[in-house]
Chains A and B, each alone.
Chain A
Amino acid sequence: MRKGRWIQSVLISTVVAIAAFVAVISAHYHPVLGLDLQGGASVVYKPARKVSAATLDETISIIENRVNALGVGEPSIGQQGNDIVVDLPGIKDPKKALSFIGQTAILQFRPVLCTAPLYTKPPASLHLTKQQLTPTCPTSATDTASTLQYVPTTSPLTATSASTAVLPEYSGNSKTVVARYVVGPTLLTGNAIKSVYAAPESQTVTNKWAINFTLTAKASPVFNQIAKTYYHQLLAVVLDGTVQSAPEINSTNFNGQGQITGNYTQATATDLATILHYGALPVQLVQQTVQTISPTLGAASLRAGLIAGVAGLILVMLYTIFYYRLLGLVVVGGLATTFAALWAIIALLGHTAQLTLNLAGVTGIIVSIGVIVDSYIVFFERLKDEARNGRSLRASVDTGFSKAFRTIIAADLVSFIGAALLYYFSIGDVRGFAFFLGLSTILDVASAWFFTRPLVLWIGNSISPKRYRWLGVPLVQVTQKPLGGTGVIRPSRVAAKGV
C-alpha cells in the first residue's frame, strides 16, 4: 500500500529530525554563539607589510599560543586572505587581552629568584593570606616554601608588567607545565638582541643544539652588568609571560655575544632562536577592525533576535493556518521538523567545526522562514490549480507536487547558488549569513520531499470529500458568461481544457 509508505516517510523524517534534536540536547551540544551574541572581542589584523605564507602561519601560531595562554573558552583564530581574524568570545577584559595579543615585542630577560613547585590547589582547610599568595621565594625566616606551591601562576596579562611573578615553562608545544619560576623585574627586552641563530653545540656533538646570539652595542654593557650581578644564577627568557628557557649565566663578560646551551634539539633550538630574533611576532600587525561587545549587550541582541524570530514564525504560522487550514498545519509541522534538524546541525557543527551562530546568521535563518514557507505555498497553490482543473484531490496532490517540486528545485537552486557564491566571495558576517541561508535551502528541499509530499499525499487520500473545505480557501472556478464584447475577464483556458 502506498499509504503505508507515505506514513513511513513522514514518521521517519520526523523521528530523524527530532532524534537529532534530542541527541544534541542530551549531549549538551549547544549552538556556539558568536561574540555579538554572547559578548567578547573580535579583532582583524593585517600584516604591516607583504609577508610570505610561512610567515603568516608562524604569526598565527604565535597568536594562538598567546590566546591559549589567556585561557579563553573556545577562541577562534583564522585566516582570511592575508588578514588574521581573532575571536575571543566571552572574554572578561577585552581591552587588555587585545593589547596583549597584538603586541609585537614582549620578550623579556628576567632573573630567576628561585624555582617554584608546580601549582596545587590549596586544601580548603588551609586559609592563606593574600601575603602568602604573592610570589616570594623562601628565606630561612619564613615558611613560604610550603605555600609557594599554592601560589597561582601569574596571568600573562599582568606578568609582563609585574615586578615579581610566578611564570610557567611548558614542554615543547604541549600545554603541560614542566617547571615554574619566581622571576624578578625585567632586565632587558627583546630589543637587546641584534641577531641570533641556532646551530649544533660543537662540530663533534651534532645532536645537541645551541642558540647563538649577538647583542646590540648598547645592550652589551648592560648584559655584562647583569651577568656580574646574577653570576651562576638562572636568567629566564620570557615570552608573553611564559618562560621559554632559563639558562644559567656562566660568565661575567660576554663581549656582546652569547650562547644558550641545554637540552635542545634542532627543532627546539630553532624555535627559541626564532622567538629571540623576532621578539614575538615576525611582522608588525595593524588592527583593521576591533569590536568589543559586553555580555549584557550581546544577551540583549540575542534576546531581540530570538523574540523577533519567534514572533515572525508564529505570525507566519497563523497566516498559513488561516489561509490553508489543514494544509497550514502541515506547514507548521514541516517548519517544526526543519528547525529541529537545523538546530541539531548548527549545534553539531558548532561542536565539531567551530561554526558560530552570530546575529547575521540568526537573520539568515529568519529570512529562510520566508524561503521555506514559500515552497509550501508554491505546492499548495499548484495543488489547488490542479483541483480547479477538475482533477480528483489525490491526482491533484500527485501532479501538483511533481510540478511544484520542479519549481521549488529551480527556485531553491537560485537561492543556493546565491548563498554559495556569497559564502565563497565575502568576508566577515556575510559568510555566516550565507552559510545559514544555504543550509536552510538544502533542508527546505529535503523537507519538501521527505515530509511535505508524503504527508499531503496521505491527507489527500484519507480525507473524505465532505471535508475538502478543510483544505483552505474554497476552490472556485470562475467563469464568464458570454457578454458580447464588454468582458475584460476571459475564462481560464487551462481550466476549461483540464477536464
Chain B
Amino acid sequence: MSDDTINHHAQTDDETPVLEPREEAKSEGFGVQTIDVSEASWWRRLGAGATHYPFVHRSRYYFVLSFLVIVAGLAALTGRGLNFGISFKGGVSWQVPSATLTVKQANTIVARAGVTQATVVTLGSHSARTLEVQADLTKLSGAARTAKENQVASLLAAKAHIPSSAVAIEFVGPTWGGQITDAAVKALIAFFVGIILYISIRFEWKMAAAAIIAVVHDLLVTIGIYALSGFQVTPSTVIAVLTILGYSLYDTIVVFDRIKENVGGLVDKGKMNYSDAVDLSVNQTLARSLNTSLVAVIPILSVLVIGAYVLGATTLKNFGLALVVGLTSGAYSSLFIASPLLARFKEREHRYRQIRARIERRAVVAEPEGMTAS
C-alpha cells in the first residue's frame, strides 16, 4: 500500500474497549472491538479465531474414539462384508417408473418369469416413484439373457400400465466390477503417491504422513459405515469416496498452511512450543473449517434429500450418502486427527523439544503470563 492515503485508520490499541456491537459503526477506525473472553459469546470467539479447544492436548481421546469407530466398522466388514450392487457382482436391474406397482406385485411377476433371488426396492415417492428390481442372470447365455430381460421388462411394464420401453434395463457382466475395482485401486494408489509427493515438496514429509493417515482414517470410517449400515456399494459410491479423499486433504492443507505460518512466526522464534502452535492454528482456522464443511455439506444434503428421496434418482442417492459420511469424517479428521498427529510427530524432533524446554524454563520465571499448556 504505497500510494495515496493511508490515514485515519485508528489502531486497535487506541480503541477503548466497547461492548455493544453497534458501537463500532460510530468509531472512525476499523471497528475492531476488544472484548474480554468471559463476556464473549461462543459465536464471537469462534468468529474471532479465539476459541481454545485443546485439539492436541486431548488428542488421545480423539484417537481412541476414531479407533473404536474403525474397529467396529472393520468387525462389520469381516462379519457381513459390503453390500455390493450389481455393477460389482454382475446382474440385471430393471427400473420401473410407477406410482402404483407394489413391491409384492413385482416380486410375484419376477418369480413367475422364473427369475430367482430377485431383490425389489422402491426409490423416490409419488409421481417420481421408481421400483428397482435386481437379479443375477449372469449364468444365462447372451441371447437367453436378453430374452429374459425383455420378458421381465414387458411383464413389469404391463402391470404398471406403461410402455415396455419406459423400463430402464441395466446389465452388467460378471467381470466388469473387477475392472472398475482395478481402476479405482490404481487411481487410489496413484492419488496417494501423487499427494504424498506434492505435500512433501510443498510442505514436508511429516505433514504428508499426518495428512495421509487422516485420509486413510476417512476411508476406513466410510467403508466401516457402509459395512455397518448395509448401504449398497455402487460405482457412484467409489467416485464419492475418491472425492472425499480430495476434499479431506483440501481441508487438512488449509490448516497445515496456517500451522506452517505460525511455526515460522512463533515457534521458530521461541515464543511457543509446537503443540501450542498447532492448537492455536486449528482454533484460528476453526471458523473457516466449520463454514467450509457447512458450505460443502449443504449442496450434498440437497442432492441427497431433493435428488434422491423426493425425486427418486438412484445415482444421486448413492453419491449423496457416501459424500455426507465422508465429508463429515473428513472435516473431523482434519481437526482431530491430522493436526494432533502432526504435533506429535514434530515434538519428537530435537529442535522442538529444545524450544519446549526453553519456554517452560522461562514460564517458571515469568509466572502469570499463562503460557502453561492447559
Contacts and interface: CB of A to CB of B under 8 A. Distances in A.
A73 interface: no
Q: Considering residues B12, B27, B265, B296, which has the most beta carbons from chain A within 10 angstroms of its beta carbon?
A: B12
Contacts of A28: none
Nearest to B317: A304
A289 B299 contact: no
Which A-B residue pairs are the 8 nearest by beta carbons? Answer: A312-B299, A370-B296, A304-B311, A418-B246, A312-B302, A478-B50, A308-B307, A425-B187
Interface in A132-156: none
Contacts of A370: 247, 292, 295-300
A477 to B, nearest CB: 5
B250 A393 contact: no
A319 B298 contact: yes
A300 B97 contact: yes
A391 B67 CA distance: 44
Interface stretch (A219-227, A250-258, A448-456, A488-496): A488-496
Contacts of B312: 300, 304
Interface in B179-198: 179-180, 183-184, 186-187, 190-191, 194-195, 198
Interface stretch (A231-239, A261-269, A402-410): A402-410
A291 interface: yes
Contacts of A108: none
Contact of A414 (B166, B249, B266): B249
B257 A410 contact: yes
Interface stretch (A113-121, A166-174, A187-195, A462-470): A462-470
Interface string B300-333: 1111011110111101100100010000000000
Contacts of B257: 406-407, 410-411
Interface string B21-65: 100111111111111111010011101111010000000000000
A388 B183 CA distance: 48
B253 interface: yes
Given A392-B9, A392-B30, A430-B239, A289 B165 contact: no
Given A300-B128, A478-B35, A490 B9 contact: no
A482 B369 CA distance: 8
A296 interface: yes
Contacts of B299: 308-309, 312-313, 315-316, 366-367, 369-370
Contacts of A385: 49, 284
A366 B239 CA distance: 14
A363 B235 CA distance: 13
B170 interface: yes
B34 A479 contact: yes
A187 B258 CA distance: 80
Given A286-B173, A287-B173, A304 B306 contact: yes
Contact of A288 (B48, B146, B176, B287): B176
13 contacts: A292-B168, A292-B170, A296-B166, A300-B313, A304-B128, A304-B308, A308-B305, A309-B299, A367-B299, A369-B299, A414-B198, A414-B249, A499-B13
Contacts of B25: 466-469
A492 B50 contact: yes
A90 B280 CA distance: 57
A83 B182 CA distance: 15
Contacts of B97: 294, 296-297, 300
A410 B256 CA distance: 10
Given A429-B236, A479-B37, A490-B370, A360 B280 contact: no
A427 B183 contact: yes
Contacts of B336: none
Interface in A406-439: 406-407, 410-415, 417-419, 421-422, 424-430, 433, 437
A247 B47 CA distance: 85
Contacts of B130: 297
A307 interface: yes
Contacts of B172: 288-289
A389 B265 CA distance: 14
A305 interface: yes
A475 B48 contact: yes
Contacts of A429: 235-236, 239
A74 interface: no
Contact of A407 (B13, B45, B238, B253): B253
B11 interface: yes
Interface string B82-116: 00000100000001010000000000000000000
Given A290-B170, A307-B311, A418-B191, A315 B298 contact: yes
Contacts of A127: none
A291 B374 contact: no
